[in-house]
A and B are shown apart, each in its own frame.
Chain A
Amino acid sequence: DAGVIQSPRHEVTEMGQEVTLRCKPISGHNSLFWYRQTMMRGLELLIYFNNNVPIDDSGMPEDRFSAKMPNASFSTLKIQPSEPRDSAVYFCASRLGATQETQYFGPGTRLLVL
């Protein structure tokens, strides 16, 4: 099993640019989560999907953030326009189903906005 796959692993961009982070969940998993991790705020849940449908996006910090899941094997998290305070590590996680608790994390994307 390849596990959760995220790309890119590292991203450096300038303030104002659009950033797109990508995630491929574990095959057969029906729930997908996007987290942000910073030293100051720890692990924060941004949004999650069940069966490709967004369930809770209350953690999305601003309208500059958007997430999509066009199919069961792919999701994107987009920041437009990016700001230096968006610099963080962004993790994607997946789980088997809505009633299965165990989440499996990807390796993360380290984002630096200059």
Chain B
Amino acid sequence: GENVEQHPSTLSVQEGDSAVIKCTYSDSASNYFPWYKQELGKGPQLIIDIRSNVGEKKDQRIAVTLNKTAKHFSLHITETQPEDSAVYFCAAWTLSGSARQLTFGSGTQLTVLP
């Protein structure tokens, strides 16, 4: 089955700096990669996603890049703000048995220091 590894597990940056979180996946058939942000006491919220026919996608301060050959994808947050502090999860959507499902990374606790 699919294995998704996420690094780092914790990340602290100064406000205004950039943050990068990286994930690797094992199943070359994976074709959809969402990123979720989870704030304390809340459920994960989708913030950006990318499909395997695209190499990069950007939404304001957030961007995701995908390298299909190397089977890794990354989340980039620029001009970080304290409200970006949260746990971020990557995921890969792939075939599991006879159905498709999301496999999640282990999460990255991002802290933006004012």
- Residues of B participating in the A interface, judged by any CB pair closer than 8 Å: 32, 34, 36, 41-46, 49, 89, 93, 96-107
Contacts and interface: CB of A to CB of B under 8 A. Distances in A.
Give the interface SS of chain A, mostly helix, strand, loop or mixed.
strand
Contacts of A50: 99
A114 interface: no
Contacts, number: 52
A98 B100 contact: yes
A84 B65 CA distance: 41
B34 to A, nearest CB: 7
B1 to A, nearest CB: 10
Given A91-B43, A105-B45, A45 B102 contact: yes
Nearest to A110: B41
A56 B101 contact: yes
B83 to A, nearest CB: 18
B104 A42 contact: yes
Contacts of A108: 42-43
Interface in A74-114: 91, 93, 98-99, 101-108
Contacts of A101: 32, 34, 49, 93, 100, 102
A55 interface: yes
B44 A105 contact: yes
Contacts of B96: 56
Given A56-B96, A107-B42, 10 more contacts: A45-B101, A55-B98, A55-B99, A58-B97, A93-B43, A98-B99, A101-B102, A102-B46, A104-B46, A108-B43
A91 B101 contact: no
A102 B104 contact: no
Contacts of A91: 43-44
A98 B11 CA distance: 35
A66 to B, nearest CB: 20
B43 A43 contact: no
- Give the residue among A55, A93, A98, A101 with the most B Cβ atoms within 10 A: A101
